[in-house]
């Protein structure tokens, strides 16, 4: 990669940021397509966020990915929010265009794109269950609501968070959404009636951690989608496979949310297979 006076700049901000694999993923795609772009990681602290965004705008940066802890804090600095970003209440992609700043959240579309890539149809008119009620769960719930899912049940260790999330997104989208605790007696029935189970809880990263649900609730008609990407096969996925369920891991969502940001910046959809391999290499998987 040769950087010249014409090279366009995109990147990612966060605190910390050294762990990010986005530079490897995007730069591999730029190289494959022979595009004169470079993707850089910027360490930005919360107190410097406005100065950083103003600086990007002044320097004609094309676009920026936004990660923890800035996904909410950046919103007041944005001129125009996408529908998904508004509903999710978080932004992970900035586009600098003609003196304005657009804010997007590509997690929702990335979640759906990875599902379709795995050969799974969006369960429109059907029921789904989401485990967890954090920021990732919010993106997943919004994506499924906008895609026309009939009913969403959110189960979380702290029931009040699930109930609050359900109420908020239900009011904004008109979708039937219920929140409950992981110990709620109606959860087994909700899973039995669902065609899709999505885990968004970070507990899935630990292969030794007990499952959040009883494995006997899983069934062959259920697609189990764990958005945890490391390890590539979580304990939930392993058990679900043994039960005869189709499974989807989190690598695809991570790659596709990046690919959608790439397209927002360049107008061109990148080679997803190249981005995926670069990500796997960066994660030593």
| DSSP calls for 98-161 | TTEEEEE--HHHHHHHHHHHTT----BTSEEEEE--SHHHHHHHHHHHHTTBSEEEEEESSHHH
* Other beta carbons within 10 Å of 6: 6
DSSP 93: E
Q: Find out whether 188 and 164 touch, Cβ atoms under 8 Å.
A: no
pLDDT of residue 202: 87
pLDDT of residue 48: 98
Given a cut of 70, the residues of the chain with pLDDT beneath it are 204
**Rounded CA separation 62/99 (Å):** 11
Query: Known catalytic residue: 71?
Result: yes
pLDDT of residue 264: 98
Alpha carbons within 13 A on the beta-carbon side of 219 = 11
**Rounded CA separation 207/205 (Å):** 6
Span between the terminal Cα atoms of the chain, in Å:
25
Which part of the chain is CATH 3.40.50.720? 109-249
CB-based burial, 81-103: b 16+ in 10 Å, e otherwise: bbebbbbbbbbbbbbbeeeebbb
pLDDT of residue 71: 96
**Under CATH, which architecture does the 109-249 domain have?**
3-Layer(aba) Sandwich (3.40)
- For the segment(s) 8-105+253-282, the CATH number from 3.40.50.10860, 3.40.640.10, 3.40.50.2300, 3.40.50.12240 is 3.40.50.10860
How far from 276 is each of 116, 159, 222, 223, CA to CA, in Å? 16, 35, 26, 22
**Rounded CA separation 10/263 (Å):** 12
- The values of phi and psi at residue 178, to 5°, are -125, 140
pTM to 2 decimals?
0.94
pLDDT of residue 204: 66
Find the catalytic residue in 71, 80, 116, 185.
Answer: 71
Q: Find out whether 156 and 94 touch, Cβ atoms under 8 Å.
A: no
């Amino acid at each position: 990669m040769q950087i010249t006076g014409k090279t366009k700049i995109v990147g990612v901000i966060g605190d910390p940021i050294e762990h990010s694999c986005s530079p490897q993923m995007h730069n591999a795609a730029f190289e494959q397509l022979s595009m004169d772009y470079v993707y850089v990681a910027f360490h930005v602290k919360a107190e410097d966020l406005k100065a950083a965004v103003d600086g990007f705008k002044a320097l004609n940066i094309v676009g920026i990915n936004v990660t923890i802890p800035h996904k909410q804090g950046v919103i007041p600095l944005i001129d125009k929010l996408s529908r998904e970003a508004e509903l999710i209440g978080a932004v992970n992609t900035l586009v600098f265009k003609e003196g304005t700043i657009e804010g997007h959240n590509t997690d929702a579309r990335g979640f759906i794109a990875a599902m379709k890539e795995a050969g799974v149809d969006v369960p429109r008119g059907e029921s789904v269950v989401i485990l967890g009620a954090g920021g990732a769960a919010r993106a997943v719930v919004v994506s499924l609501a906008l895609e026309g899912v009939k009913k969403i049940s959110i189960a979380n260790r702290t029931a009040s968070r699930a109930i609050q999330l359900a109420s908020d997104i239900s009011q904004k989208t008109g979708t039937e959404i219920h929140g409950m605790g992981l110990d709620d007696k109606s959860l087994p029935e909700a899973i039995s009636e669902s065609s899709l189970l999505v885990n968004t809880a970070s507990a899935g990263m630990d292969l030794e951690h007990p499952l959040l649900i009883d494995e006997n609730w899983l069934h062959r008609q259920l697609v189990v989608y764990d958005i945890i990407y490391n390890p590539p096969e979580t304990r939930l996925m392993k058990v679900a496979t043994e039960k005869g369920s189709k499974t989807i891991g989190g690598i695809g969502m991570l790659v596709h949310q990046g690919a959608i940001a790439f397209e927002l910046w360049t107008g061109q959809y990148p080679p997803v297979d190249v981005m995926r391999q670069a990500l796997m290499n960066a994660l030593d998987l």
